[in-house]
Structure 1
Amino acid sequence: MSAPQTPATAPAKPVPARQRLRRPGGLFWILLLVAMLASGLLTMILSPASSERSLSPVNPAPRGAQAVARVLADKGVAVVQPDSLNTAIAALEAADGRATLLLHDPDGLLGPEQLNQLAAAAPRTVLVEPGAAALAAFAPGVTPADGTRDSRIVSASCAMPLAEAAPLLQATGRLYTGPLGCYPVPGTSGHPVVFSATATVLGSTSYLANRDIRGQGHSALALWTLGQEPQLIWYQPEFAELTADMPAPNPFLLLPGWFGPVMAWTLLMGLLAMFWRGRRLGPLVPERLPVVVPAAELIDGRARLYAHGRALDAVAANLRSGALTRMAHHYRLGTGAGVHQIIAAAEHAGVRTGPELDLLLNPAITSEQHLVAWANDLAQLEKEIGSP
C-alpha cells in the first residue's frame, strides 16, 4: 500500500507593508533611524564652525591655521573670514584703513580685474605663496626666484623689528626677490619672506599652519605680519569667484582621440555580456519545498568543506565522536556514557590497556597525514572491539 499523500499547504500570503511597519521589530528600526538622524542634525547645529581647507583660520587640522587665528584673537585682533570677494572688499572699506588683508589663493581663482579691485581696497596685504597675477596687483616689485624648497635655518639680515623678534627662520617653500628681503638663502638670490611698500610675501603656508607653527621663527613671523592692525581680513577665494568671462574648461578636450571609440566598444561589449549571461541559464523553474537531499551528498559536501578549510580539529572531533558512540552502544553503556567509562569497559574486555586507549582517543592532530594514520588506527580499534 502506498502512503496517503499529504495535501500541499497553501502558500502564505504576503504581509502588507503597513502591517509590517506596525510590528514591534519594524517600529524599533524606524525609531532608531529617526534618533540617528536627529542626533546627526543636532551635532551639525551645535558643533563649532570648522573647515577642512588648507590654512583656514577655523581648521584645527595640521594643515589649518586655527592656532594662529586664536592667538591673534587673544591679542585683540579681530579675525574676519569673508565668503566672497564683495564681502572682503566691503570689510576692508569698513575698516577705514585699519585692517590687514591675508590673501591665500593657491589655485589662482581670482582674475586680474578682481585682484586689482581687492588691492585698491587693501592698505596692507599679506600674500601666501602668491602667483604672478597676485604679485602684479599687490607687489609689483616682487618676482619669483629660483631656489630649493628644502627646509633650512637662515639668519635675518635686515634692520626691521622682525629681525629682533625672529633672528633665525626655518625657511621652506618658494623664494622671491623684491625691494626688501630679510632672510637670504645661501646659494640663491631669493628670500622666503619679502616686503614691499604695502605687501608682505610669504613663500610657504608652513609659516602659518598648525603643524609647523612651532618651527624656528614661524610664530614670531606670523604674529608680526598679521597683528599689525586691529582687524585681519582672512580671505581664501572659492571656486565661485571665477570670473564670468572666463570660459568653463571642457574636460573632454583633455582626453586622447581614441578614448571615445574605446569607451563605446567597451560599453557595447558589456551590454552583450550582460545579455549573454542573463539568458544562458534560462528562466527560473519553481520547485516545491522541502527538497529531500540524500545523506551521502550531505556527508560528501561537508567533507569537501572541511578539506577546503583544512579543519583538521573538526574532522578529528567528528571521527572521535562517532567511534565513541559506536563503542558505547557495543558495551551497552547508554548514550550518556563518558570517555573514561568507555575506556574502562574496553580495558575490562581486554582489548587494550587504559593508557593506550586514552592516547588513541585523545589525539593531537598536526597534519593531514597524521589525521589519516590516526583514522586508520581508530578503525582498527573498532575492528578489535567488534563494534559495527
Structure 2
Amino acid sequence: MSAGIDVAVRGTVRGSSAGLRARAGGVLRSAALWVVAAVVVLLAAIVMVLMQGREAVRPLHYDSTQPDGGRAFTEVLRTQGREVTTTESLAEAREAAAGGGTLLVYAAGDVLDPEIPGELMAAADEAGTDVVLIAPDLTVSDWTDALETDYLGEVSPDTRRAPECEVPEAQTAGAVSSRAAGADYYSTSPEPEDVEFCYPGTGTGAIDEASVPHGLYAVEDRGASTLTVLGAEEWLSNETLADEGHMSLVAGAVAGDGELTYYYPDSGDQPRADDEQLPIPLMGLFPDWAVGAVLWLLPVALVAMLVYGRRLGPLAVEPLPVVVPAAETVLGRSALLQRAQDRETALRDLRAAALVRLGRRLALGPETPATEVCARAAAAAGLDPAWTEAVLLTQPAGDDATFVRLSADITSIEREVDLL
C-alpha cells in the first residue's frame, strides 16, 4: 500500500516498505559470509585434487611429478622406444609375469602380501619373464632364497659408488649415488654361482663383508629368466634420475625385447590368507583432499559462530508483565496490513470503528443493526442514504486509490455528524 494509505490507516506519513529487490539484497548480505566460505573451500578442494591427488604423490609412482616420483624414468624409456605399461592391478601383474617380457615391481614397504612374490616369481620362471625389483629391502627373501639384506651400520661418508663388477649394464652406467641407501644385499652363499653383485658399500654391519659378496645392485640368473635388484630408489626418482649413471643403469636393468610392465602395488588390491580384504578404515573412504577441506572448514565455522553469535551489548532487563500501549498495537497492526497489502481487512477495521462512534453520537444502542446506523447518520447529516451505506458497508476497496477515497469519505461522514 502507498504512503497515502499509511496516512489513512495510522494518520502518519511513513516511507514505503522495502521492495523485493531490497529484501533480496538483505538476504544476500546476511549470507555473504557463508557464500565466501563455500567458494574458498570449493577452490581449495579443487586445487588440492588437481595438484595433490592420491596417485600423484606416492614415491616412484609412475604418475607422480614430485621430486621423489617416478614419472620421469617411465617417460624416458618410452621416448627411447621401450614399450611401457603401468598398472596397480595385481591381476595385470600376474598376467605380465606369465607373459614374457620384463616385470618391474616397486617392492619397497610392506604393501605386497607375503605370498605374492613367490607366485609372481614362479610364473616368471615358467614363462621366462625377467623380474626387476625396486628397493625390496627386507622383503627380498620373499622373492628369492639367494639374497638377503643387512644394514651396513656406519657407512662410508663417500656417497658415490663404483660398479666393481663385470655386469654389462653396471659397467656402462659407471658410478652411481648411494646417499639414500643404508643397506646392501648379500648372498646367502659364501661363493654364489648364479648371483652377481655391483656397487658394494663399506660399513660395520653384522655380516662379514670380506667373505660374503654384497652390493646395492644384484642380478640372479634363474635359468630362463633373471631377477635384478635395484637397491636405491634415488636411481629412479625424478629429482636424481639425471645424476651420475642412474638412467643408464635403470635402462640397462629393464632392457629386453618384450613389453615392460611397471607394477606399483596398491594395498587395497592385495588378497589375504582368508581371501578377504582387510576392513577399510573410515578415513580410507574419503579422498586425501578431504582432510584439507575439513581443516579449512574448522576456522570458517569458528569465524561464523563468532560473527553470528556476538552480542552487541549487555542484555536488557525488562520487568514483567510488559505493558504495551494501545497506540503501539494499532500502529503495529496497521503496518502489518500495509505490508500484506490487505486493503479489505484495513477497510473493515475503519468502518467498524466509524460505526461504533456514529452509534454513540446518535445515541443508538450496541444492538442496533449497521444498516440502521447508516440510515440514521445519513438522515441526521442530510446525506444520500445509498451513498452513506456504500461508504460504510458495501463498496469494496479494489485498489489503493479507492481505499484512500473510502477512508476520506468515512472521515467526512463522521465529521458531518459531529457537527450536529
The two structures have a TM-score, normalised by structure 2, of 0.47
Structure 2 match to 1:109: 111
Post-superposition shift, 1:45?
A: 8.3
1:108–1:32 distance in 2 versus 1, CA, 3 Å:
closer
Q: Counterparts of 1:176 and 1:57 in 2: how far apart (Å)?
A: 25
Distance 1:38 1:161, change over 3 A: same
What's the RMSD between the two structures over aligned residues? 4.8
Please list, as runs of the form range in 1=range in 2, the aligned pairs for 1:234-383 lying within 5 A after superposition. 234-245=262-273, 285-286=315-316
Residue deviations 1:286-316 (CA, integer Å, cap 9, x gap): 369xxxxxxxxxxxxxxxxxxxxxxxxxxxx
Q: 1:153 to 1:36 in 2, by over 3 A?
A: closer
Q: Which residue of 2 aligns with 1:53?
A: 58
Counterparts of 2:151 and 2:236, CA distance in 1: 23
Q: Is 2:220 aligned against 1:196?
A: yes
Q: From the superposition, tell whether residues 213 and 241 of structure 1 become closer, same or farther in structure 2 (CA, over 3 Å).
A: same
Contact 2:184 2:200 in 1 (8 A): no
8 Å CA contact retained: 1:20, 1:26: no
Provide the C-alpha distance between the structure 1 equivalents of 2:104 and 2:265, rounded to a whole number of angstroms. Answer: 11
Are positions 1:69 and 2:85 aligned together? no
Structure 1's 22 and 72: CA in aligned 2 closer, same or farther, altered over 3 A?
Answer: farther
Mean Cα displacement is larger for which, 33-42 or 235-244?
A: 33-42
- Partner residue in 1 for 2:261: 233
Q: Is residue 152 of structure 2 the alignment partner of residue 152 of structure 1?
A: no
Shift of 1:200: 0.8
Matched residue, 2:131: 125
Q: Secondary structure at the match of 2:77?
A: helix
Could you tell me how far 1:180 is from its partner in structure 2? 0.6
SS in 1 for 2:229: strand
Alignment partner of 1:176 out of 185, 192, 217: 185
Structure 1 unpaired stretches of 5+: 1-12, 252-283, 289-388
CA contact (8 A) 2:234 2:241 kept: yes
The aligned residue for residue 279 of structure 1 is none
Task: After TM superposition, give the deviation of residue 159 of structure 1 in Å.
Answer: 2.5
Question: Which has the higher Rg, Structure 1 or Structure 2?
Answer: 2
CA deviation string 1:122-141 (max 9, x = no partner): 3111112214444332x321
Amino acid at match of 2:160: I
- Flag the 1:42–1:184 CA change in 2: closer, same or farther, 3 A: closer
Instruction: Go from structure 1 to structure 2 and tell me whether the alpha carbon gap of 1:50 and 1:110 turns closer, same or farther (over 3 Å shift).
Output: closer
What amino acid maps onto 1:102 in structure 2?
Answer: L
The answer as to whether partners of 1:110 and 1:241 remain within 8 angstroms in 2 is: no
Contact 2:162 2:176 in 1 (8 A): yes
Residues 80 and 234 in structure 1, CA contact (< 8 A), matched pair in contact too? yes
Of 88, 92, 97, 2:100 maps to 97
Against the structure 1 CA distance between its residues 39 and 146, is the aligned structure 2 distance closer, same or farther, given a 3 Å change threshold? closer
Letter in 1 for 2:130: R
Structure 2 residues without counterparts, runs of 5 or longer: 1-16, 188-194, 204-208, 282-313, 319-420
For 1:254, the equivalent position in structure 2 comes to none
Aligned length: 244
Shift of 1:194: 0.8
